Amino acid sequence: MSAAPAAEPDSDARSFDRWLREALARIEAFLAERLPGEQAEPVDLHRGMRYAVLDGGKRVRPLLAYAAGELVGAPTAVVDHAAAAVELIHAYSLVHDDLPCMDDDVLRRGKPTVHVAFGEATAMLVGDALQAQAFGLLADAARAGARPEAIVRMLAELACAAGSLGMAGGQAIDLASVGRRIDRDTLQRMHERKTGAMLKASVLMGADCGRPLSADERQALVVYADAVGLAFQIVDDILDVEADSGTLGKTAGKDAQHDKPTYVSLLGLDQSKELAQSLRRQAHSALAGFGVGAGRLGALADMIVLRKS
Amino acid sequence: MSAAPAAEPDSDARSFDRWLREALARIEAFLAERLPGEQAEPVDLHRGMRYAVLDGGKRVRPLLAYAAGELVGAPTAVVDHAAAAVELIHAYSLVHDDLPCMDDDVLRRGKPTVHVAFGEATAMLVGDALQAQAFGLLADAARAGARPEAIVRMLAELACAAGSLGMAGGQAIDLASVGRRIDRDTLQRMHERKTGAMLKASVLMGADCGRPLSADERQALVVYADAVGLAFQIVDDILDVEADSGTLGKTAGKDAQHDKPTYVSLLGLDQSKELAQSLRRQAHSALAGFGVGAGRLGALADMIVLRKS
């Protein structure tokens, strides 16, 4: 998790794999430690929170936060809080999204969804409590040495990305679009909010933990995050068609089943794949000004576009 | 809304009434201005958020924040953010609490509940988005001149009071206790979390906006808030039995109907009323060290215990 030394090209992949494993182990341990224990009252709620968050998920958002933090020399112990906060927001959104009144899904990360395992009422409270804890983790970052100014900046970014002009708003647009013919602009606007906003917040909050960014550097990270965010969603749509439920760990083919507009339904499979590749190139170009230090973010863009689940 | 001058005893009530009207008008205007407009996309979500928050509610939490802020000379423009944040958390909790999978209630503040008016999925997102905006308002307090350190303190208090060890946890204990015989300690522990934690946060966050408190002063506010929080719940239980739905603006008698344990069912009506009065006296005693400046908080304790709806 230390800043990357200039690496030989042929060792890049190996070094990234090792970084990835370390980062995944780190966020898992941090989340397991910070979520209330299963013995703490109310037991059902805390068991549900841990069930929703631990032992599953690709942790894309924490990885983006760690990589962005490294780019600006942020102390990893501070970035932990940003990384965990964005993951808890993501986890809560999945719990609520799976509820019967939303997507009514029974399988997530290869396990029964939270409301199947714990009941609907507890699932709703699990989501509510995870959102509160996400914000609480930002306050806790002070104890790891985060400056109050950095915490306030992260707070503003997280609240905006999670709220009605971000993720929750994207889900409302999604709800309203089921069974309707929407155009590519509307689809993009929906995804910019539904997934893009939180992916962007992950990058920017990671960066908030380190040295101040110039306006140009910040803008470059925004361009990178926007490209990665959109590519992420397009690949999601492609995998929903091409992969099976076992590989995905969630119900495959559910977009078509729910008559949801997707990139694949709008552009077709080939053009969707081309668009994802083009966004990957855009993400790399945006990082050019940072030099070799941005290698992790570049490798994450590749990982997101080339993933199989 | 300025700090109270030492008042003639016979003008106290008049002066408090005026302060109350001003504070209620102020929080209403602030909330109306800060909630996204009904034209902003997604329209349904934003209409639902405004419907859930505006034109209703006793605004007890904002009033506690304003009164505590005044006590420590906090700029009212900063306290606005704390007051609005606690009210948005309260409003979101009501929206989720009314859902079919929770209390399944159709009437709130004399109007159809949010899920009746907007559908279940939108109601869930309304609650989710209100919680995010509550935290976002704390970040915005910086623009009104709040110090970053004060924002981080408010953030920690709000997250703790709203989360699994606070309000959401209290609701989970409530869920688990329906139809079961619980003792007074368990009932008190449930209410300390379900309503007490947020009422306490309202007082402390208001106080965070002003001069630093000594440890004794802070402890006095905690004792005050704990007494007021518990009294608030006991009076709620009494009103659920004694008032009618028209006066309450919500379904009366629903505790008994849902077989929920209450102070009235545990202690009887007379002893519950005595306990509420005793807590009111405790609240006043706790404020003694602050002198005349704590008059607003004292009057709010009276208002909470003597209310009829």
Does residue A182 sit at the B interface (CB-CB below 8 Å)? no
Say what the pLDDT of residue A171 is: 96
Burial of B8 (0-12, 13-18, 19+ CB in 10 A): exposed
What is the domain class of B10-306 according to CATH?
A: mainly alpha
Indicate whether B13 pLDDT > 90.
no
Average pLDDT across chain B, whole number: 92
Report how far apart, in Å, the C-alpha atoms of A236 and of each of A55, A191, A232, A243, A272 are. 21, 11, 6, 10, 11
| CA-based torsion, B141, B150, B89, B249: positive or negative | negative
Confidence class of residue A41 from pLDDT cuts 50, 70 and 90?
very high
Indicate whether A264 pLDDT > 60.
yes
A88-134 per-position pLDDT tens digit: 999 999 999 999 999 999 999 889 999 999 999 999 999 999 999 99
Put simply, the chain B residues between 45 and 64 with a CB less than 8 A from any chain A CB are 45-46, 49
A102/B124 touch (CB, cutoff 8 Å), yes or no: yes
- Note the pTM of the prediction, 2 decimals: 0.94
B182-227 per-position pLDDT tens digit: 888 989 999 999 999 999 999 999 999 999 999 999 999 999 999 9
| Mutation for B interface: A50, A51, A128, A157, most B CBs within 10 A | A128
Confidence class of residue B279 from pLDDT cuts 50, 70 and 90?
very high
Confidence class of residue B59 from pLDDT cuts 50, 70 and 90?
very high
- Taking alpha carbons only, the member of A151, A175, A183, A143 closest to residue A267 is A183
| Mutation for A interface: B86, B147, B160, B164, most A CBs within 10 A | B164
CB A71 within 8 A of CB A290: yes
B45/A120 touch (CB, cutoff 8 Å), yes or no: no
Does residue A135 sit at the B interface (CB-CB below 8 Å)? yes
Does residue A172 sit at the B interface (CB-CB below 8 Å)? yes
Residue B304 token pair: 């909470």
> Which of A96, A129, A147 is nearest residue B128 as measured by Cβ atoms?
A96
The question of ipTM being above 0.85 is answered as: yes
B140-189 per-position pLDDT tens digit: 999 999 999 999 999 999 999 999 999 999 999 999 888 788 888 989 99
Residue B7 φ then ψ, to 5°: -110, 150
Q: What is the mean pLDDT of residues B281-301?
A: 95
Q: What is the mean pLDDT of residues B44-70?
A: 96
Q: What is the mean pLDDT of residues A177-185?
A: 85
- Taking alpha carbons only, the member of B159, B186, B182, B183 closest to residue A41 is B186
Q: What is the mean pLDDT of residues A25-34?
A: 98
Say what the pLDDT of residue B259 is: 72
Residue B99 φ then ψ, to 5°: -60, 155
Confidence class of residue B250 from pLDDT cuts 50, 70 and 90?
low
* Residues from chain B contacting residue A260 (CB–CB below 8 Å): none
Residue A149 to residue A112: CA distance in whole angstroms: 41
Say what the pLDDT of residue A5 is: 47
Does residue B186 sit at the A interface (CB-CB below 8 Å)? no
DSSP sequence for A153-189: HHHHHHHHHHSTTTHHHHHHHHHHHTTS---HHHHHH
CA of A4 to nearest chain B CA: how many angstroms apart?
32
Residue B261 token pair: 């344990």
Residue B301 to residue B279: CA distance in whole angstroms: 9
Closest-CA residue of A relative to B154 is: A139
Confidence class of residue A249 from pLDDT cuts 50, 70 and 90?
low
Q: What is the mean pLDDT of residues A195-200?
A: 97
Say what the pLDDT of residue B248 is: 61
Say what the pLDDT of residue B292 is: 86
Say what the pLDDT of residue B164 is: 98
What value, to the nearest 5°, has the Cα angle with vertex A151 and ends B53 and B161?
45
Residue A169 to residue A103: CA distance in whole angstroms: 16
Residue A190 to residue A161: CA distance in whole angstroms: 13
Q: CB count, 10 Å around CB of B281?
A: 13
B159/A135 touch (CB, cutoff 8 Å), yes or no: yes
Say what the pLDDT of residue A4 is: 46
Confidence class of residue B94 from pLDDT cuts 50, 70 and 90?
very high
Helix (H, G, I), strand (E, B) or coil at B111: strand
| CA-based torsion, B156, B157, B163, B164: positive or negative | positive
Residue A12 token pair: 């890049």
Q: Which fold has domain A9-306?
A: Farnesyl Diphosphate Synthase (1.10.600)
DSSP A194: I
Q: What is the mean pLDDT of residues B239-262?
A: 74
Say what the pLDDT of residue A250 is: 64
B117-128 per-position pLDDT tens digit: 999 999 999 999
- Spell out a b/e string for B15-36, using b for 16 or more CB atoms within 10 Å of the CB, else e: bbeebbeebbebbbebbeebbb
* Residues from chain B contacting residue A49 (CB–CB below 8 Å): 164
Residue A210 to residue A146: CA distance in whole angstroms: 9
Does residue B244 sit at the A interface (CB-CB below 8 Å)? no
* Distance, first Cα to last Cα, chain A: 25
> Which of B125, B152, B176 is nearest residue A148 as measured by Cβ atoms?
B152
